[in-house]
Structure 1
Amino acid sequence: MHRSKGKLSGVLSKGFKPDKCKIALKMAMARIKLLRNKKEVQVCQMRREVAQLLDGNQDQTARIRVEHVIREEKFMQAYDLIEVYCELIVARMSIIDSQKTCPIDLKEAIASVIFASMRCSDVTELADVRKNFTSKYGKEFATSALEVRPDSGVNRLVIEKLSAGAPDVQTKTKTLSSIAAEHNIKWEPKAFEEQKQNEDRMVN
């Protein structure tokens, strides 16, 4: 019984190919750079469009459009974090390969990259990275990260940046204020907040 258990753990990490995993991580980093540059251009354009709406007193439309701006900016921040984690994993690949269990100081990086692999579908290489680490540490480890179970190790900021929830009023007001200031537009957030409060009352 004891022997078969040892055999099983050997089979488990057989699918882990450190060199292939390293290549996938490096390719993911290269793709993240490209996507971030592309998103930067898109976000600049979107912020300009929101500024035009504010300038034309179309606060209602601006408030809807700014949600997309916030979502894209959060994605860009998530990309930054994921890129740092990928870089760290690449640098420590020999340590990862030499140890059966996940090194404690690398759990956050590995778990966060696994979590991001299902939410950053544009970065297709992350799926290969996830498969490699599932082979290395088992399905339970990967599922724990994907489902953000307690002690999964996934970074809270990565979870927050990749969450699909709508931004709150404060975040929208702050972003709209920064867009207005950026484009030298006089905009009064107070009226916007009052309008939102009135809408909330009507809903409740």
Structure 2
Amino acid sequence: MSSLKKSVMGIFDRWKASTCKANLQLAGKRCTLQRNKVIKSQRVAEREIAEMLRQGREEKARIKAEQLIANQKMESAYDILETHCELLYTRIQYIDQSKECPPDLICPVATLIYAEKRLTVPEMANCVRQFELKYGRTWCQQHTDNSSQDVAPKLVGLLTISPPSETMVLDALEEIANKFEVEWERPPTIEEKLATAPGALNVSSFPPFPMPSTPPSVTQHPQQVSPSASEPTVLPETASSPDKDNSGFVPNPEADEIDFEDLEKEEESISKP
């Protein structure tokens, strides 16, 4: 089929409840098949991990355990989608008669639209196409990236690509070791090693700090009021001694012994020719 023919057919496409109902049923069955396939692969992976632990190949067992955790998330995701497909399948007449999406079905429809771009389920893509014809592409686009926040939060977490924590990996290895009766000692995590390292600060070992029963009293000091600009500043008066001359002149004790009459006679003798 040429691209021109597909575009022409897309223009004249209309919402059909029967087409959406058939694809919802097929999508639900596809999710069931995918979930069963994941469960079988998990059983094989568990045996391989148990054999790796028995042989002491712990590093490879850890890598295999990360893949096992990812498959467990996919199993739960397919289970949620299967439930939503069955719900929409039974409510297809209600959807067909409503002009807008019913409030109690917004989450299932948004969840299918969100998962369609992240999983390989062809029948689910056909369902999303029908919802676009029913409610518009703009309405469906807001659920593709979950900007509407209407997608099931659990499914968003399951389909988020992120490596599992070290604790989750060790929990999976410990569960498999107990299931297949493998003698394996669980190693401490990095956080546990840092907490028990010499010189590590253990906050829990400190005694509790005693809290005062009553708040401490605060001594209030009188505030020193600075003189305002309009009032003149008066300096304190200092007591002056009556015998002390404040002019800065220092008397010469030898000046009291000079005879002024002798000085006058000497001046007269000098002035005579």
Q: TM-score range by the shorter chain?
A: 0.7 to 0.9
Q: Which runs of 5+ in 2 are unaligned?
A: 1-10, 195-273
Q: Which runs of 5+ in 1 are unaligned?
A: 1-11, 199-204
Output the CA distance in 1 between the equivalents of 2:164 and 2:142.
26
Question: Which residue number in structure 1 is paired with residue 99 of structure 2?
Answer: 100
Output the CA distance in 1 between the equivalents of 2:90 and 2:192.
49
Structure 1 pair 100/172, CA: closer, same or farther in 2 (3 Å)? same
- Alpha-carbon shift at residue 197 of structure 1 (Å): 6.4
Alignment check: 8 A CA contact 1:107 1:153 kept: yes
Say if 2:53 is the partner of 1:54: yes
Q: How does 1:121-136 map to 2 (within 5 A)?
A: 121=120, 123-136=121-134
Alignment check: 8 A CA contact 1:133 1:142 kept: yes
Say if 2:182 is the partner of 1:185: yes
- What is the aligned counterpart of 1:174 among 171, 179, 192? 171
- Other structure's SS at 1:71 match: helix
* Residue type at the aligned position of 1:43: Q
- Other structure's SS at 2:187 match: helix
Question: Which residue number in structure 1 is paired with residue 141 of structure 2?
Answer: 143
Output the CA distance in 1 between the equivalents of 2:171 and 2:97.
48
Alignment check: 8 A CA contact 1:21 1:132 kept: yes
Structure 1 pair 186/118, CA: closer, same or farther in 2 (3 Å)? same
Runs of 4+ residues deviating >3 angstroms: 194-198
- Other structure's SS at 2:77 match: helix
Tell me whether 87-96 or 173-182 shows the greater mean CA deviation: 173-182
Alignment check: 8 A CA contact 1:18 1:93 kept: yes
Output the CA distance in 1 between the equivalents of 2:100 and 2:75.
31
Alignment check: 8 A CA contact 1:24 1:126 kept: yes
* Residue type at the aligned position of 2:44: Q
Relative to the length of structure 1, the TM-score reads 0.83
Q: How does 1:25-44 map to 2 (within 5 A)?
A: 25-44=24-43
Output the CA distance in 2 between the equivalents of 1:185 and 1:16.
57
Structure 1 pair 196/20, CA: closer, same or farther in 2 (3 Å)? farther
- 1:87-107 CA distances to partner (integer Å, 9 max, x unpaired)? 000111111111111111111
Output the CA distance in 2 between the equivalents of 1:30 and 1:138.
27
Output the CA distance in 2 between the equivalents of 1:16 and 1:189.
57
User: RMSD of the TM alignment (CA)?
Assistant: 1.9
Q: Which of the pair is proportionally richer in helix?
A: 1
Say if 2:131 is the partner of 1:118: no
- Alpha-carbon shift at residue 189 of structure 1 (Å): 2.3
Q: Which has the higher contact order (CA 8 A, sep 6+)?
A: 1
Report how many residues are paired: 183
Output the CA distance in 2 between the equivalents of 1:196 and 1:38.
37
Output the CA distance in 1 between the equivalents of 2:42 and 2:90.
32
Alignment check: 8 A CA contact 1:18 1:97 kept: yes
Output the CA distance in 2 between the equivalents of 1:136 and 1:196.
55
Relative to the length of structure 2, the TM-score reads 0.63
* Residue type at the aligned position of 2:129: K
Question: Which residue number in structure 2 is paired with residue 9 of structure 1?
Answer: none
Alignment check: 8 A CA contact 1:46 1:69 kept: yes
Q: How does 1:12-27 map to 2 (within 5 A)?
A: 15-27=14-26
- Alpha-carbon shift at residue 195 of structure 1 (Å): 9.4
Alignment check: 8 A CA contact 1:111 1:152 kept: no
